[in-house]
């Protein structure tokens, strides 16, 4: 695994001359830091990267993981029946908070993304990795569980609700990370959102993931010991490099 400098992409389908930082890579996957980016620009980049991954499947072109923060903040609404009703704020109130509202093609329900939240968009060939959809989601949950462990946080799963939780006595009480993915032609898009130090008040504008349960962050759980965004990005980047290598070795 090695880190490099800056990657620039200039294609008609993606933001012009988008600058990104290469955090880590192997022969099979590269992890790119997009910094802060709007939702529409990140989605265009995901779709373009997904298209190129599928087209280059026979050549085993490298897979990609994008790490970023969404800015401006955004509420994303899926096509699930009833999801739109989980946006509690009208467009005027959202605008007052500087929050966009967009429809999305991922799975799940309503989700908030904003500064202080680490979003990971893995564009991976699940056929190559030998993963089906449910094991893939559990694999993403494990990434988050491992990423928050150095702060002494025990990430928990809830059999009834996708994502990662924390709580006393091993009870999944507070959600610290949401997961929503899309698979097309055995390749993934979208991913997870890990709350490091976002404005938790913004979650009160929605019913997060359609669940009437509290949301938390690393900062809310550990206070001054909260790690930097860059530190968590590097953990997550190293995890994807290590784990994709493990899966490819079979």
Catalytic positions are: 209
In DSSP terms, which residues pair with 30 in a beta bridge? 25, 64
For residues 59 and 40, is the Cβ–Cβ distance under 8 A?
no
Rounded CA gap, 162 and 160, in Å?
Answer: 7
Task: Measure Cα distances from 240 to 26, 41, 173, 236 in Å.
Answer: 10, 23, 27, 6
Contacts of 32 (CB under 8 A, 6+ apart): 7, 20, 21, 22, 23, 64, 65, 66, 67
């Amino acid at each position: 695994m090695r880190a490099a400098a800056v990657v620039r992409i200039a294609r008609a389908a993606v933001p012009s001359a988008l600058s990104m930082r290469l955090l880590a890579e192997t022969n099979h996957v590269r992890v790119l830091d997009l910094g802060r980016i709007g939702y529409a620009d990140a989605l265009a980049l995901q779709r373009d990267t997904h298209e190129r991954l599928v087209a280059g499947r026979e050549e085993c072109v490298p897979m990609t993981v994008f790490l970023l923060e969404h800015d401006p903040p955004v509420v994303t609404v899926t096509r699930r029946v009833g999801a739109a009703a989980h946006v509690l704020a009208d467009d005027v109130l959202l605008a007052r908070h500087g929050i966009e509202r967009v429809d999305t093609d991922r799975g799940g329900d309503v989700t908030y993304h904003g500064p202080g939240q680490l979003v990971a968009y893995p564009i991976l060939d699940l056929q190559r990795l030998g993963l089906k959809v449910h094991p893939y989601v559990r694999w993403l949950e494990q990434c988050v569980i491992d990423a928050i462990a150095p702060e002494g946080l025990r990430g928990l799963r809830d059999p009834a609700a996708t994502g990662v939780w924390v709580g006393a006595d091993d009870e999944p009480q507070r959600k610290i990370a949401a997961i929503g993915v899309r698979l097309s032609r055995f390749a993934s898009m979208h991913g997870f959102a890990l709350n490091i130090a976002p404005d938790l008040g913004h979650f009160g504008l929605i019913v997060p993931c359609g669940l009437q349960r509290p949301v938390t962050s690393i900062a809310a759980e550990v206070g001054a010991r909260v790690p930097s965004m860059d530190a968590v990005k590097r953990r997550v980047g190293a995890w994807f490099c290590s784990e994709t290598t493990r899966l490819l070795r079979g």
